[in-house]
Chains A and B, each alone.
Chain A
Amino acid sequence: MAGENQTVSEYIVHHLTNLTYGKLPAGYERYDGSIVGDGGAWVMAHGGAEAAAMGFTAIHVDSMAWSIGLGILFSWLFYRVAKKASSGVPSGLTSAVEMIVQFVDNTVRDTFHGRNPLIAPLSLTIFVWIFLMNLMDLVPVDVVPELMMALGVEYHKIVPSTDPNITFGMAIGVLILILYYSIKVKGFGFARELAMNPFNHPLFIPVNLFMEIVGLLAKPFSLALRLFGNMYAGEMIFILIAALFSAGLAWMVPAGLLQIGWAIFHILVITLQAFIFMVLTIVYLSMAHEDH
């Protein structure tokens, strides 16, 4: 919630800033007026300007921690079930996990027609992991940042999928798999597909190459941007509604109702986005396996 010494825009910016740890370049003037010495310095960024100055040599500690933490939660939860998996009568957590596995398995079977033992577990990981990351969006926007503030951590963004680094990271992972399997399955045919596809004439090779490579890169871009855009917009609306709380007591009740309404609607969005990411990954990999 926006404090007395904070304007609404400051509040929003604060909520959208990652906790960044990185290397400031030499000669950079920090927020307290000190100058960074030769060779730069590895510090926690104070504010967006410092984070921007760090450039590529920085890491979003909060995104990374939540992302890996949720990944570990997923792995631990499913591993526990996998360890005691039996053909007996399932119950509780086991049946819930098996329901998800069944759902993913069916989706993969419907979409992917090759034989690849990687696709199904990959889809399961993507679906559950992204779902968990998106689920963080339903935690009231102020709880964790305020808590962290009390613990002396300045910035904290708990929804990893609102960080383009995270969504692009996963999309790049998918791109690597697409390239790997395209080359593995088609071999030289993959290069021919890139060079000869829309116009089958040697003269058009540069045009074809350009178009096909754009098409290839559009896949991870669309994956990453779709997830990021949806989650970022959702988070933004949560923050905007939360900002209403600062507009006085009269706004408390409508703002609360709006939060609830948006959260309920968002349950649909987070599941759908996780599902879309999974299905598109399967489709792209299925295309990579198809030899024309």
Chain B
Amino acid sequence: MNINLTLIGQVIAFFGFVWFCMKFVWPPIIAAMQEREKKIADGLAAADRASHDLELAQEKALERLKEAKHEAAGIVDSANKRASQIVEEAKTAAITEAERVKTAAHAEIEQETNRAREALRAQVAALTLAGAEKVLGATIDQDAHADLVNKLAAEL
């Protein structure tokens, strides 16, 4: 247990090893560890962000879906409305057309009737005249009695 040169030797060795550790051992190990720590922290942060993003996306998708449903309902609604409108229009058009055709037919019938009546009247006039001629036995001057005949015919 003597104090001797070993003391000096140990002091030198001490500084030698401390220097070596400080120069070659500590910096790379601690740098690698810090880098790994950072990597892990980044990874965790990214995972967090991703799950947050997923949540957002799901929310957005849900919203879009709701919107689309709403839109679809609107389209169907307006289509229905349009269809009933078209049917209504067609109905009105048909009624109008029918009315028109009916009126035209009525007019024609009236016209035909009038015409037939005229013809009939003319023939009655002629017949009357002929009858009268026979009754009177004399020729009735057609020109002289035209007024009379015509008056008669008009009275028929």
Binding site for B on A (CB under 8 A): 16, 20, 22, 51-52, 54-60, 63-64, 67-68, 71, 74-75, 78-79, 81-83, 85-88, 90, 97-98, 101-102, 105, 117-118, 120-122, 124-126, 129, 163-166, 168-170, 172-173, 176
Chain A proximity of B4: nearest CB distance (Å): 4
Partner of B5, one of A57, A71, A129, A170: A57
Give the CA-CA distance A82 to B7 in the complex, in Å. 30
Chain A residues with CB under 8 A of B140: none
Query: What are the residues of chain B within 8 A of A125 when measuring CB–CB?
Result: 17-18, 21
Flag if B29 contacts A163 (CB, 8 Å): no
Tally A-B pairs: CB < 8 A: 136
Q: Report the separation of the CA atoms of residues A78 and B2 in the bound assembly, to the nearest whole angstrom.
A: 33
A117 to B21, CA, bound (A): 11
Beyond A64-B13, A124-B21: 12 further Cβ-contacts under 8 Å? A56-B5, A68-B13, A75-B20, A81-B29, A82-B28, A87-B36, A98-B33, A117-B22, A122-B21, A165-B3, A165-B9, A173-B18
B26 and A102 contact, CB distance less than 8 A: no
Q: Give CA–CA (A81, B26) in the complex, Å.
A: 10
B33 touches A169 (CB 8 A): no
- Interface 0/1 of B70-104, CB less than 8 Å to A: 00000000000000000000000000000000000
Q: Are A168 and B3 in contact (CB under 8 A)?
A: yes
Which residues of the partner chain B approach A173 to less than 8 Å between Cβ atoms? 10-11, 14-15, 18
Mask for B28-44, Cβ within 8 A of A = 1, else 0? 11111101101100000
